[in-house]
């Protein structure tokens, strides 16, 4: 009987041990923050912090995963990553698809890098009537296209859409399968190099504030690891400070161009088309207001747009997608430091 | 070895020298064709390869030295830059300058327009594209006549521009200093270049040089070196292949021996085989994550079902008389399996696996595209997207070379492993020698001799 007892308890001990070990291990080795990013110039700048080890210096373990844009959002909605760079419109689309998120950083707004590029012979948006347009349906540049059509008194039915992954638009335009493409840099630039003489007939510079780019975090993860995301925000503004200094331009271009496989001189114009927001500018954009100069106003416009064009059926509670608190906290901490100096 | 032996004889072999010669030709002819199209200037050459490029005002598409543009666009491109220069000169004459920091940066970029040409002439190293001080000295050299660009030369239109710009530069400073660049815009160099083929057909020497550079210098992007990528790709192909062997060979052999397994497994395998493996890609990513696992499983799916069918067929083709002979001699089922079937089918099984390994390689590119792109495919994809085909060709050729030599090695190794079977080398001899085929002498062990040919003995 005694032996049986001993056997039972030793077995019990082993079982509990087996249960406890993985538990303790998972606590001890905290997972890195996983961030998916893609070729939009406003997010490629993360490579600067990666190359310079700024996240490690902040004591933060971040794993960046490079994707094409649409797959990056897939990775986010299937829970493979904790955060992703998206436009404010696409975040709503992803959210209505079952994975709501919350933005902690406005990285930039598009000021020309999103383009509608047309073959030679098509001079304006009005000429698009009856043309074949290569665009990734339901994503940001579809929105740009609809906006362009609407502001010229046209409808989506006036054109034929050809659903094309954005990074394949240069090949598709080059092959002559479509007359026009909608894409962002570096893809739009590549398209214009592939089809010589093609040019942008409408860009996001004509609708500044329609497309904001942000870092969206999964809501559970933000709740669980708020402290880590605060450090993440801190590193982001270190990148912004670095980018503001013209002395760093050549070094920055080298890093950014390498990520996109272009030459630094080719990359330089992209910086104009993506307006990176300084901390002060970002705080302005975070203020609740109507119109495109506020992220709230812009997101409302996009939400209306998406419902109107049937991208999704029901209005989204977009306020829940926006959380300026981490940026504001960072701003206060910087202000406090500046005051104490 | 009669030199007058005719070349064309129906269903007859050739002697060794002729075979070697033809094999060499089979590689040299395509190469010669490629050289012909690349190096004879009046054949094709619809593009211009830029040696000097410039930025157009208010256009975000930047062409750099080395880019290809079509001949007709080259004209409009030059014209645009000439017009830009005219505007700059007019503004200068009218005194309405757009100065400031931006103009300085633009001027810095304009100075670098000579970098490509300077590198081609051997005055700069290829990592000095942004070495403004060195570039500044080259402007000075060309303007003062101390340096004369020869290969390639600077065209007649550009020489005065260099002098004009130098006048303006030297009036501010004799050596480079970012803060001492003129704040008025300098003139742009007019684009110049040589006729060339489109970027998707680079010349052989460009492919060779770029390939050599990329393999020896590591990846220009500071990511993985090409050798690391090659290892990743090989891991995926072999991972999928070996996994498939591990499961597929036993199943295939069992299905070949026992009708029970054959009828139980083969119909479904046959059905599954028709579903294209790439159709499962998103499913595999959802199930196995985005790293290596879905890629290996795609190679597995692409190989496994073929493997089962091919191997069961091979097993079934084992000469039945061998089984009968063994049974007559009193072999038990287990002995039949281990002493007759396995040794009997091994040489053919080996050949099947050789072919299936090649089959696995064909899945590589598709497999590496799913989830996170990796390996050689990521390199091909990104470089191809940016039309750096001179970097893509070496990698494609490398995959071919690896496949070819692996196969040649395995074919040779088959002779080592199974000396009792005919090798491809003896095949040609068989065709030449009259009389009874030599395989008759090896008939007991041979597995390749079909039943019908054995009956005469």
Report, as an integer, the average pLDDT of A181-205.
91
pLDDT of residue A331: 93
Q: Which of A3-7, A286-290, B145-149, B188-192 has the lowest mean pLDDT?
A: A3-7
pLDDT of residue A277: 95
Report, as an integer, the average pLDDT of B412-426.
75
Interface of A with B in 278-337 (CB under 8 A): none
Report, as an integer, the average pLDDT of B102-108.
83
- pLDDT band at A213; cut points 50, 70, 90: very high
Q: Which of A335-339, B403-407, B411-415 has the lowest mean pLDDT?
A: A335-339
pLDDT at A295 over 50: yes
Q: Which of A259-268, B301-310, B403-412 has the lowest mean pLDDT?
A: A259-268
pLDDT of residue A225: 93
Q: How far apart are CA B311 and CA B304, in angstroms?
A: 10
Contact A261 B63 (CB under 8 A): no
Contact B221 A259 (CB under 8 A): yes
Contact B387 A193 (CB under 8 A): yes
Given B59, B60, B109, which is nearest A273 (Cβ)? B60
Residue B349 tokens read as 């099984």
pTM of the model: 0.75
Q: Which of A55-64, A84-93, B144-153, B232-241 has the lowest mean pLDDT?
A: B144-153
What domains, with CATH codes, occur in chain B?
47-196 (no CATH), 226-432+439-450 (1.10.3720.10)
pLDDT of residue B279: 92
Report, as an integer, the average pLDDT of A277-294.
93
Report, as an integer, the average pLDDT of A217-230.
94
Q: How far apart are CA B404 and CA B397, in angstroms?
A: 10
Q: How far apart are CA B61 and CA A263, in angstroms?
A: 12
pLDDT at A154 over 90: yes
**Which residues of chain A are within 8 Å of residue B76 when distances are taken between CB atoms?**
197
Contact B109 A167 (CB under 8 A): no
pLDDT of residue A258: 87
Average pLDDT, chain B: 85
Smallest CA–CA distance, residue B372 to chain A, in Å, is 7
pLDDT of residue B1: 52
Which residue carries 């300026």 as its tokens?
A324
Report, as an integer, the average pLDDT of A114-141.
93
CA B148 to chain centre: 39
Residue in B closest to A166 by C-alpha: B385
Interface of A with B in 3-22 (CB under 8 A): none
Average pLDDT, chain A: 88
A114: left (phi over 0), alpha (psi -120 to 50) or beta: beta
What domains, with CATH codes, occur in chain A?
33-110+209-340 (3.40.190.10), 114-206 (3.40.190.10)
With an 8 Å Cβ cutoff, is A258 touching chain B?
yes
pLDDT at B423 over 60: no
B225: left (phi over 0), alpha (psi -120 to 50) or beta: beta
- pLDDT band at B456; cut points 50, 70, 90: very low
- Its ipTM equals 0.72
- pLDDT band at B74; cut points 50, 70, 90: very high
Among candidate residues A16, A66, A74, A72, the one with its CA nearest the CA of residue A44? A66
Report, as an integer, the average pLDDT of A141-147.
93
pLDDT of residue B187: 92
CA dihedral B41, B45, B51, B54 (to 10 degrees): 150
With an 8 Å Cβ cutoff, is B293 touching chain A?
no
Q: Is B31 helix (H, G, I), strand (E, B) or coil?
A: helix
- pLDDT band at A341; cut points 50, 70, 90: low
Q: How far apart are CA A176 and CA A248, in angstroms?
A: 40
């Amino acid at each position: 009987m005694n032996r049986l007892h001993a056997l039972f308890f030793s077995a019990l001990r082993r079982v509990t041990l087996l249960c406890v070990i993985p538990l303790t291990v998972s606590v001890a080795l905290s997972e890195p923050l996983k961030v998916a990013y893609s070729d939009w110039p406003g997010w490629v700048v993360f490579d600067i912090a990666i190359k310079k080890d700024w996240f490690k210096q902040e004591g933060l373990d971040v794993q960046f995963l490079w994707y094409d844009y649409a797959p990056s959002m897939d990775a986010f909605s299937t829970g493979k990553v904790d955060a992703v760079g998206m436009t404010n419109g696409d975040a709503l689309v992803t959210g209505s698809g079952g994975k709501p998120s919350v933005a902690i950083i406005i990285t930039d707004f598009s000021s020309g890098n999103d383009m509608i590029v047309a073959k030679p012979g098509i001079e304006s948006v009005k000429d698009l009537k009856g043309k074949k347009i290569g665009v990734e349906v339901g994503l940001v540049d579809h929105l740009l296209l609809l906006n362009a059509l609407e502001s010229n008194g046209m409808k989506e039915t006036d054109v034929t859409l050809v659903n094309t992954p954005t990074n394949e638009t240069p090949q598709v335009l080059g092959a002559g399968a479509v007359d026009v493409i909608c894409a962002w840099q570096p893809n739009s630039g590549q398209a214009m190099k592939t089809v010589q003489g093609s040019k942008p007939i409408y860009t996001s510079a004509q609708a500044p504030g329609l497309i904001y780019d942000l870092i969206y975090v999964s809501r559970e993860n933000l709740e669980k690891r708020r402290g880590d995301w605060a450090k993440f925000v801190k590193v982001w503004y270190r990148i912004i400070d670095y980018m503001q200094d013209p002395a760093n331009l050549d070094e920055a271009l080298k890093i950014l161009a390498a990520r996109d496989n272009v030459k630094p001189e080719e990359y330089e114009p992209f910086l104009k088309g993506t307006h990176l927001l300084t901390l002060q500018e970002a705080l302005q954009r975070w203020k609740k207001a109507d119109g495109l100069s506020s992220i709230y106003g812009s997101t409302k416009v996009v939400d209306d747009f998406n419902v109107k064009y049937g991208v999704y059926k029901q209005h989204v509670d977009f306020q829940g997608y926006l959380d300026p608190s981490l940026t504001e906290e960072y701003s206060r901490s910087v202000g406090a430091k500046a005051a104490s100096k | 070895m009669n030199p007058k032996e005719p070349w064309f004889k129906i269903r007859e072999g050739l002697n060794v020298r002729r075979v070697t010669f033809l094999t060499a030709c089979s590689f040299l002819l395509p190469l010669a064709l490629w050289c012909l199209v690349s190096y004879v200037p009046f054949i094709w050459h619809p593009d211009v390869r830029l040696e000097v490029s410039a930025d157009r005002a208010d256009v975000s598409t930047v062409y750099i030295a080395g880019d290809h543009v079509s001949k007709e666009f080259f004209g409009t491109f030059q014209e645009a830059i000439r017009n830009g220069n005219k505007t700059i000169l007019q503004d200068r004459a009218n005194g309405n300058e757009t100065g400031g920091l931006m103009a300085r940066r633009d001027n810095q970029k304009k100075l670098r327009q000579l970098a490509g040409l300077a590198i081609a002439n051997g005055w700069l190293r290829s990592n000095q594209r942004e070495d403004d001080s060195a570039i500044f000295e080259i402007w000075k050299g060309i303007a003062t006549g101390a340096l004369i660009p020869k290969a390639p030369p600077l065209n007649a239109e550009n020489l005065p521009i260099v002098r004009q710009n130098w006048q303006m530069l030297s009036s501010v400073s004799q050596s480079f200093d970012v803060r001492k660049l003129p704040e008025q815009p300098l003139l742009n160099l007019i684009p110049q270049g040589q006729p060339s083929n489109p970027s998707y057909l680079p010349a052989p020497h460009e492919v060779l040089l770029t390939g050599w550079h990329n393999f020896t210098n590591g990846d220009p992007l500071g990511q993985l070196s090409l050798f690391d990528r090659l290892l990743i790709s090989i891991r995926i192909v072999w991972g999928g292949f070996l996994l498939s062997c591990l499961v597929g060979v036993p199943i295939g052999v069992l299905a070949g021996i026992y009708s029970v397994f054959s009828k139980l497994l083969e119909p479904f395998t046959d059905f599954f085989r028709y579903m294209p493996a790439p159709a499962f890609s998103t499913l595999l990513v959802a199930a196995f994550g985005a790293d290596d696992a879905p890629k290996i499983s795609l190679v597995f799916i692409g190989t496994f079902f073929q493997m089962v069918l091919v191997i069961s067929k091979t097993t079934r083709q084992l000469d039945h008389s061998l089984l009968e002979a063994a049974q007559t001699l009193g072999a038990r089922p287990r002995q039949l399996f281990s002493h007759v079937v396995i040794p009997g089918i091994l040489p053919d099984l080996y050949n099947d696996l050789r072919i299936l390994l090649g089959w696995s390689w064909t899945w590589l590119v598709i497999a590496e595209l799913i989830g996170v792109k990796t390996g050689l495919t990521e390199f091909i994809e990104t470089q191809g997207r940016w039309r750096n085909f001179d970097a893509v060709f070496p990698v494609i050729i490398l995959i071919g070379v690896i496949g070819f030599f692996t196969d040649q090695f395995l074919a040779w190794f088959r002779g080592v492993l199974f000396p009792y079977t005919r090798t491809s080398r003896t095949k040609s001899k068989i065709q030449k020698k009259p009389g009874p085929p030599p395989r008759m002498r090896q008939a007991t062990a041979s597995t390749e001799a079909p039943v019908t040919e054995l009956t005469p003995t």
